[in-house]
Structure 1
């Protein structure tokens, strides 16, 4: 007969006493220090099996026993649990030290981002529209100001661009909502939100005022981001990764911060090289469909790049205009084959 010392907690009472647990086959007997039988039977269950903590034995009458030996693991069938066996298996411990970090790395960099990207096309359009509305509220209260351009000029540009987009062979996922804003911290730039909102800064309109096709090319580039759902994919990827980290570190408050800060985090995230290439190809192909020269996009990049080099752009520009390899993109736009006339 095996015996284990510990503490017995009475059912429905706050008191306890030192006790001795005896096991014989499938039967357990709990005796007080005076030898009185406190509980006897085979109907019991074990509590959580946590390393370094004693495993409680819960009995059918509501009482329970806590052994003094924190390493003691008892089960109904007399066999050690899987968790206990793994804790004591040196090979399993060694493999976990190597494989768990690799698994977390794969989940953070490949698994969750890939899953999030695959889910994006199935999200209802209302999700993107809600993100646009809330993001614009945040940005208007922080980084953006009302446009100083005359309302008539804004309406003229807006009508020209919407007319050009209407001539594309395939409809866009979202009808563009073109907004003009003043953003001295961003300089000459434009950006798109997932639901079709395209924000054009006054500085960009001023910079490219004598190059209307270049200005149209920038708008088409941002429309390409919307068409390929780049912004929503980035947001889904970052949210999935943040949720993984929050669950690992048990900091669920991070989840609320993700939801509250989705607008600004979306704007601060740099599009990947592949995403930029897709948006570039969409813009140059659309220009050709509209009977314009694809080099207009190269003119836009060149003008914006020159302004960046002049130092007039401030720190926020690194986030909003993080479009890599400007020279390479200029060359690709100039060499766009005329056969590529379907925006995609």
Structure 2
């Protein structure tokens, strides 16, 4: 007659069984503790990144942005091929906007072309980069000003600096301690044009842009129009949407502001 196999643990003497059970209990507790610590770190990570960003001296943040721009100009960006008259028209229109509330952060508008696609992004140095491909994809200068106002909102809230410290916390901490941004730039600088914003950052930048446009008598409809126009175009024109995702909450918030 065939007999059933008896689990090895049953054949183990009682002291041995207790050791095996203690081993598995210890392993389970360790796994649970690791999971709890990992979850706690994910919750604490944004706050820790904000603390690092707040601790970084403004001149060091500006140096990091300048170094990142230099690296991007070498490897990713090219000089703009946009007509000089249009560059001047956009620059003048953007510079003429009167900032709401406490004023606009120091900034510099730069035009570029290259491998980044149709996009716009900010650097901690106050540089706002907009590409030829994005300018060609937008329907008019009103939409362009809406994009630039949105980027100014990111700069106003120091979103890029906070995003960089979250992406590379150890290099950011080393930059603060040693007063040198080389490690931070080499760690994350090349990825700046691809860093996507979380929904809350997008809504905050939209709110600043809406205040700026409204303060200057410009239509808030342009904010939502940018998302709608680019979403109807080909993949080459959607680089901007990849880092500025038009989530439902954001679009609803834009429409609500436009309706006021």
**Two-structure CA RMSD over aligned residues (Å):** 3.0
* Local SS of the residue matching 2:230: helix
**Distance in 2 between residues matched to 1:325 and 1:207, nearest whole Å:** 17
Query: Of 87, 108, 126, which aligns to 1:177?
Result: 108
The unaligned stretches of length 5 or more in structure 2 are: 1-21, 174-181
Structure (1/2) with the larger helix percentage? 2
Q: CA deviation at 1:222?
A: 0.7
Q: Distance in 2 between matches of 1:102 and 1:258?
A: 29
Change (3 A) 1:232 1:298: same
Larger Rg: 1
Q: What is the aligned partner in structure 2 of residue 99 from structure 1? A: 33
Q: 1:128 to 1:177 in 2, by over 3 A?
A: same
CA contact (8 A) 1:214 1:299 kept: yes
Return the structure number with greater relative CO, CA threshold 8 A, min gap 6: 2
Instruction: Give runs of aligned pairs for residues 121-136 of structure 1, distance below 5 A.
Output: 121-136=54-69
Q: How does 1:51-66 map to 2 (within 5 A)?
A: none
Whether the 8 Å contact between 2:167 and 2:188 is mirrored in structure 1 is: no
Task: Determine if contact 1:177/1:196 at 8 Å carries over to the other structure.
Answer: yes
Label 1:269 to 1:148 Cα distance change in 2 as closer, same or farther (>3 A).
same
Closer, same or farther in 2 for the Cα pair 1:312/1:113, shift >3 Å? closer
State whether residues 158 and 178 of structure 1, in contact with CA within 8 Å, keep that contact through their aligned partners in structure 2.
yes
Unaligned 5+ segments in structure 1 are 1-88, 245-255, 340-344
Q: Are 2:191 and 1:265 equivalent residues in the alignment?
A: yes
Alignment match, 2:134: 204
Q: How many residues are treated as equivalent by the alignment? A: 231
- Check 1:104–1:161 CA distance in 2 against 1; reply closer, same or farther (3 A cut): same
2:243 corresponds to 1:311: no
Kindly indicate whether the alpha-carbon contact (under 8 Å) linking 2:113 and 2:132 is maintained by their aligned counterparts in 1. Answer: yes
The structure with the greater share of residues assigned to strand is 1
For the residues of structure 1 that align with 2:207 and 2:136, how far apart are their CA atoms?
25
